[in-house]
């Protein structure tokens, strides 16, 4: 029988080559164990509600009314829903061309894009143009849209931080481009060295690669660091010198767990720098409803905003967005609610502040609990999670453990994480899925398990790690940066 187009050997090679470790081997094994009845703690993905975070009340009330608009006609609706939720639902329904079941403009509902623009202006102190804001099905879809517009072929390179969120490596591979890594320095709290950036670009050019864009993830995923204003200025200057588009992945901007380095957007720093940079550096910024204290991953609401992108290029990006007709409309409503939440004096304001503040304060405590827990373990070192949702501890694996892993055909950190999963039910992601320096091993875990469960989780990790190290240590040295 002749082979067919969708037989494995005939698939697009880029499809077969792309990898996404967050839902890779560890996740599949965890799913198998769960089916067998083992309790699994899925800390492999930043999925807050799956780990017990409760949804905020106000946005769910508004979306419920938008999804079932006949409730607005019920004379008793005011007994169940607060007046401000009813008013917002009516406002959003008035923005649509037929409720949540109708397509919107391919860029998103104009009224919601206006709310996003007003949010950006409040945040940065500079006006934002709704015509340069596209609503998307989560930030990931927006990232892929922009990468698709930038990458023309295998000789086009994208600078990506390593360790990196594998959305970037997978998307670049899928689109047929080249990933150009720049390494973050773990001993400097995952800091960025501009000289290393220059070296990465020079090496890529030597190989015939044209570097066209640079990705920053701020706060960092998986590394949890927050970029300083000085760092952002260096990055923007670098992009100006090298004629690069800056892609600012800022989806964790609400997730800040220290006061020394608050989140500051790349756009604000760019515009603060003034001419000529403020009019010449091309920037695309991404945000989502999936993270922060919202955690509405399943709703798939996101946006990207373009700065200094020429009108003809914007038209082409709009054309490609039109192929998918419309971003999902409920996700757009969630985005409108996130950027324009209840205000002081609104009926729902106090509850909204109480809920959101409670989530963020708990996440801050959990960030400390997890970092302290890892640093109390044998052969484990971990920088503090300044922002985002993850810890990324380095595991100093004994040589015998590395040898055992190699004999089994496993990457050493995959071997460690599989053993951890089997012993404790804790599902993590090996550091090799994000990229790391040769001979150095990590794992990524979210800080999202319920606060009351965190002590037991860290105790189980410590017990497993101590037993693992005892089994494989030969006191001749360890993997270490």
Task: Tell me what the mean pLDDT of segment 6-23 comes to.
Answer: 82
Rounded distance, CA 432 to CA 371, Å?
20
Residue 365, pLDDT > 60, answer yes
Residue 478, pLDDT > 60, answer no
What pLDDT is stored for residue 28 in this prediction? 87
Residue 74, pLDDT > 80, answer yes
Task: Tell me what the mean pLDDT of segment 208-219 comes to.
Answer: 97
Query: Do 8-39+353-472 and 94-339 come out as alike in CATH topology?
Result: no
- Stronger pLDDT, 7 or 378, i.e. the higher one: 378
- pLDDT confidence tier of residue 368, bands split at 50, 70 and 90: very high
Do 116 and 339 touch, CB atoms closer than 8 A?
yes
- Token output for 71: 């409730």
Do 431 and 162 touch, CB atoms closer than 8 A?
no
- pLDDT confidence tier of residue 479, bands split at 50, 70 and 90: very low
Rounded distance, CA 445 to CA 393, Å?
9
pTM of the model: 0.93
Residue 186, pLDDT > 70, answer yes
Residue 252 gets which letter from DSSP?
T
What pLDDT is stored for residue 22 in this prediction? 62
Task: Tell me what the mean pLDDT of segment 121-127 comes to.
Answer: 98
The 3-state DSSP class for residue 428 equals: coil
Rounded distance, CA 264 to CA 463, Å?
39
Burial pattern 34-50, b for ≥16 Cβ within 10 A else e, equals eeeeeebbbbbbbbbbe
Closest CA to 60 of 295, 343, 251: 295
Alpha helical stretches, state H, 425-472: 454-472
Do 192 and 235 touch, CB atoms closer than 8 A?
yes
Task: Tell me what the mean pLDDT of segment 318-322 comes to.
Answer: 95
What pLDDT is stored for residue 79 in this prediction? 95
Burial pattern 383-403, b for ≥16 Cβ within 10 A else e, equals bbbbbbbbbbbbbbbbeebbe
∠ CA 398-404-410 to the nearest 5 degrees?
105
- pLDDT confidence tier of residue 362, bands split at 50, 70 and 90: very high
Task: Tell me what the mean pLDDT of segment 226-233 comes to.
Answer: 93
CA 437 to chain CA mean position, Å:
22
What pLDDT is stored for residue 481 in this prediction? 42
Q: If you classify domain 8-39+353-472 with CATH, what class do you get? A: alpha beta
Residue 195, pLDDT > 60, answer yes
Alpha helical stretches, state H, 376-424: 399-407, 412-424
Domain positions in the chain = 8-39+353-472, 94-339
Share the mean pLDDT of the chain: 93
CA dihedral 214, 245, 243, 228 (to 10 degrees): -60
Does CATH place domain 94-339 in 3.30.450.40? Answer: no
Residue 443, pLDDT > 70, answer yes
What pLDDT is stored for residue 308 in this prediction? 98
pLDDT, tens digit, 9 for 90 and up, residues 252-261: 999 999 999 9
Do 347 and 80 touch, CB atoms closer than 8 A?
no
Which residues have a Cβ under 8 Å from the Cβ of 82 and sit 6 or more positions away? 58, 61, 347, 348
Residue 134, pLDDT > 70, answer yes
């Amino acid at each position: 029988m002749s082979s067919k187009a969708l037989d494995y050997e005939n698939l697009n090679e880029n499809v077969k080559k792309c990898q996404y470790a967050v839902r890779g081997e560890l996740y599949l094994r965890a799913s198998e164990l769960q089916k067998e009845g083992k309790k699994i703690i899925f800390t492999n993905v930043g999925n807050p509600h799956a780990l017990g975070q409760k949804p905020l009340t106000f946005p769910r009330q508004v979306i419920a009314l938008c999804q079932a608009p006949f409730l607005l006609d019920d004379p008793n609706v005011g007994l169940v829903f607060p007046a401000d939720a009813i008013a917002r639902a009516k406002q959003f329904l008035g923005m649509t061309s037929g409720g949540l079941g109708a397509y919107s403009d391919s860029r998103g509902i104009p009224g919601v894009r206006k709310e996003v623009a007003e949010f950006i202006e409040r945040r940065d102190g500079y006006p934002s143009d709704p015509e340069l804001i596209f609503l998307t099905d989560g930030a990931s879809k927006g990232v892929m849209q922009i990468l698709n517009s930038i990458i023309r072929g295998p000789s086009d390179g994208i600078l990506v931080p390593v360790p990196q969120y594998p959305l970037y490596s997978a998307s670049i591979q899928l689109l047929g481009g080249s990933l150009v890594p720049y390494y973050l320095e773990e001993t400097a709290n995952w800091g960025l060295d501009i000289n290393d950036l220059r070296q990465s670009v020079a090496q890529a050019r030597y190989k015939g690669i044209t570097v066209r864009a640079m990705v920053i993830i701020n706060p960092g995923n998986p590394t949890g660091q927050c970029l300083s204003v000085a760092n952002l200025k260096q990055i923007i200057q670098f992009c100006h010198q090298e004629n690069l588009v800056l892609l600012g992945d800022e989806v964790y901007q609400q997730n800040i767990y220290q006061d020394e380095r608050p989140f500051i957007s790349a756009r604000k720093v760019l515009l603060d720098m003034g001419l000529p940079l403020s009019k010449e550096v091309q920037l695309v910024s991404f945000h989502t409803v999936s993270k922060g204290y919202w955690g509405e991953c399943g709703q798939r609401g996101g946006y990207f905003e373009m700065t200094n992108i020429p009108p003809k290029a914007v038209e082409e990006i709009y054309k490609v967005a039109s192929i998918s007709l419309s971003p999902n409309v409920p996700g757009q409503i969630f985005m409108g609610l996130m950027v324009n939440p209840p205000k002081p004096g609104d009926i729902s304001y106090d509850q909204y502040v109480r809920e959101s503040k409670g989530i963020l304060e708990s996440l801050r405590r959990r960030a400390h609990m997890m970092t302290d827990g890892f640093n109390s373990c044998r052969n484990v070192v971990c920088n503090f999670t300044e922002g985002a949702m993850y810890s990324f501890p380095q595991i100093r694996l004994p040589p015998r453990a590395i040898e055992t892993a190699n004999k089994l055909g496993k990457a050493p950190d995959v071997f460690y994480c599989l053993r951890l999963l089997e012993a404790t039910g804790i599902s993590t992601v090996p550091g090799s899925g994000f990229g790391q320096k040769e001979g150095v091993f990590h794992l990524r875990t979210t800080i999202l398990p319920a606060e009351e469960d965190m002590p037991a989780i860290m105790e189980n990790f410590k017990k497993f790690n101590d037993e693992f190290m005892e089994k494989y240590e030969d006191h001749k040295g360890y993997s270490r940066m």
